[in-house]
Amino acid sequence: MPKYDWLLFDLDNTILDFSESSKMAFATVYNSLGTHKPIAEVYENYNVINHAIWKDREAGLISHTELKTKRWKLLCDLLRVDADPLALNNIYFDEIKKNAVFVDGVEPLLPQLSSQYKMMIITNGLSEVQWSRIHDTQLEEYFEHIVISDEIGFAKPVKQFFDHCAELIGHPQKDRVLVIGDTPMSDIKGGNDYGYHTVWYNHNGIDDDGQVPTYTITDMRDMIEILKD
């Protein structure tokens, strides 16, 4: 008998390499900013701002709509450039939808796991971006449910997000559910707090923020070892 009945996968930087897609999309945005600062420096500025804004979103302090413009306004203010934050966001969205890239090792893993387990995507992303990338990579073939925070009004790690997931999968025994993700304060905290087992995909050597996952991996192909009976 398998260890788990359900595998709940984060999407960004767990299944799809959002960091790589974001770099490609940002290059187009950069050309619209009219700044002479090096793109690497500006992209690092954006990442710092974006990370802080997403933490506010996950804490319920701002809405998805506010997130779309606030991060770009803060970047424009920092760079002292005059640009429309919503227009920049739209450029970024249009580009990122075109550049879905799998995390290394994941693409051949999905058909193997989906033949043995029931699987769900759980993501804090924005609906219009996530669905485009999901369709392009044909992920619906492998996942029975896809839960996007933008559509349900709650974001990981809050209990209401996982209540929604549990309802969809029929409230299985909690130690039969495994949450897999790369972000300690949303994926691991959310799964742990709900009583699910967790896998932290620590692909970039970041701090665990005090979260203690059931398992830690640095390569998604290591999921095969974790799931061995």
SS (H, E, C) 166-188: HHHCCCCCHHHEEEEECCHHHHH
| Residue 81, domain CATH | 1.10.150.240
| Residue 23 counted as domain residue | yes
DSSP letter at 213 equals -
User: 12 and 24: one domain?
Assistant: no
Instruction: Locate 226 and state its tokens.
Output: 């974790």
User: 164 and 80: one domain?
Assistant: no
Helix, coil or strand: residue 198: strand
Higher pLDDT, 122 or 203: 122
What percentage of the chain exceeds 90 in pLDDT? 84
User: 209 and 141: one domain?
Assistant: yes
Count: domains in the chain: 2
> Is the predicted pLDDT of residue 70 greater than 70, yes or no?
yes
Q: Which residue among 64, 96, 128 closes a domain?
A: 96
Query: Domain range holding 139?
Result: 6-16+100-226
pLDDT score for 131: 95
Q: Which residue among 56, 77, 96 closes a domain?
A: 96
